[in-house]
Amino acid sequence: MPSAESVFRELNARLDLPARRRALLLRELRADFEDLVTTLVAEGLTPEAAQQKAFRLLTPSPDDAGALSGLHRTRYARLVSGYRAARVQVVERVSIGVMAALAVGAPLFALARSSGLPVGTLTVLGVAATLLLANLAWHAFRIVVRDDADADSLARAGMVQAALLGLTLSAGALSVFVDAALTLSSWEAGGGATTIQVAATMTRCAETTALTLGLTILGVFGALALLQWHLSARTVEEELRALLSPTFDPEEE
Amino acid sequence: MTAMTQRPNLSKHVNELLILARLRVGPAHGYEIALAVERDSNGAFSFQHGTLYPILHRLEQERLIRGSWEGEGRKRKTYQLTTKGEAYLKGEAREVKTLFLNLIRVLEGPAHALG
């Protein structure tokens, strides 16, 4: 007779579902299985006979595992099931990238026309903001719509977010420093920088700082969200491991 | 068109009704439903190899039953019949009864029916 662990491992492999949905199903089935064995043993069956009967009554066949997967697939997964997964993912990534670029590009374009910020600064900050937003939006999409984000990819996304945050801060600080240093050195040397030019530089520096701080808030918020999502996904993966472990304890949270 | 051709998968339908009938007694875990159906029918009906769960989860999606997680420590899922499920069970039980009475009448033949 196979062990409960091997039967549930096989079932886990057959369930074509995201980890969170598999964990929910296996939590129910494994607890029911253990409770039925306990009930049958209390009624006088040997542990082996009780386990055999529990296997017969409760563990789904390949067909039933397929039916369960079909029932618990997300609506979105059903919608795109007719297309190749790799192609769907390319379309999803491109769509999210374009939306992030538009969301960042439109206000930056307006800012470029109304303020005197250097094009180089705006471009670097715009690219960083687009990447920050796209990284966050892609993983939010995977969690909310696809429901298939795993702990490792969320951890990697968090690191990318932190790196982009660092890049944004560095680009903003560098832009302010270079702009201010060039104007001040010209002013000090009496090389033509007027008080009006110094005031304009200070305004640009203030705008760059405000923009950098805004992007930093977006980046920090994104990094915190990714950390929270990573911890939730890790909890689910730990539960799955516990449910499939030979030392599964039905009373342990 | 006969009732049988209207409902091609009769055994699946009967399984649904068996689950709903058990839940009419009160809330139960999945394994309690499987055990009760087998015992109450003297082994005539049994959920073999996990056929129970796809039916339970479909009934839950159709809101004929409601599943909730309960308990201390590791949670257990408990099911209970909804008002919609109770009404559905009443109607379907009547239909199945009529279907089987008609089937028995056919099997026993016209002479028996006349007699």
State whether residue A74 sits within 8 Å of chain B by CB: no
pLDDT at B64 (0 to 100): 97
pLDDT at B21 (0 to 100): 95
Report if residue B77 sits inside a domain: yes
Among A29, A25, A23, A14, CA closest to A66: A14
- Determine the residue of chain A that is closest to B74 in CA distance: A253
- Side-chain-facing half-sphere of B104: CA atoms under 13 Å: 6
Contacts of B46 in chain A (CB under 8 A): 57
Q: Is the pTM of this model over 0.95?
A: no
Average pLDDT over residues A63-79: 89
Task: Tokens 């200070």: give the residue.
Answer: A202
pLDDT at B115 (0 to 100): 46
Give the confidence band of A175 by pLDDT, cuts at 50, 70, 90: confident
Report if residue B65 sits inside a domain: yes
Contacts of B38 in chain A (CB under 8 A): 57
Report if residue B30 sits inside a domain: yes
pLDDT tens, position by position, A207-252:
888 888 988 898 899 999 999 999 999 999 999 998 888 777 666 6
Q: Which domain holds residue B41?
A: 8-109
Report if residue B78 sits inside a domain: yes
- Determine the residue of chain B that is closest to A55 in CA distance: B49
Report if residue B1 sits inside a domain: no
Cβ atoms of residues A11 and A33 within 8 Å: no
pLDDT at A133 (0 to 100): 92
pLDDT tens, position by position, B16-66:
999 999 999 999 999 999 999 999 888 888 887 778 999 999 999 999 999
Q: Taking CA A236 as the corner, what is the angle to CA A250 and CA A233, rounded to the nearest 5 degrees?
A: 165
Report if residue B102 sits inside a domain: yes
CA distance B102 to chain A (A): 32
Task: Tokens 């993912």: give the residue.
Answer: A89
State whether residue A84 sits within 8 Å of chain B by CB: no
Cβ atoms of residues B17 and B41 within 8 Å: no
Say if strands B65-70 and B76-81 run parallel, antiparallel, or are unpaired. Answer: antiparallel
pLDDT at B77 (0 to 100): 94
ipTM over 0.85: no
User: In CATH, what number is assigned to the domain containing residue B72?
Assistant: 1.10.10.10
Report if residue B115 sits inside a domain: no
| Total domains present in chain B | 1
What mean pLDDT, rounded, does chain A reach?
Answer: 87
Report if residue B101 sits inside a domain: yes
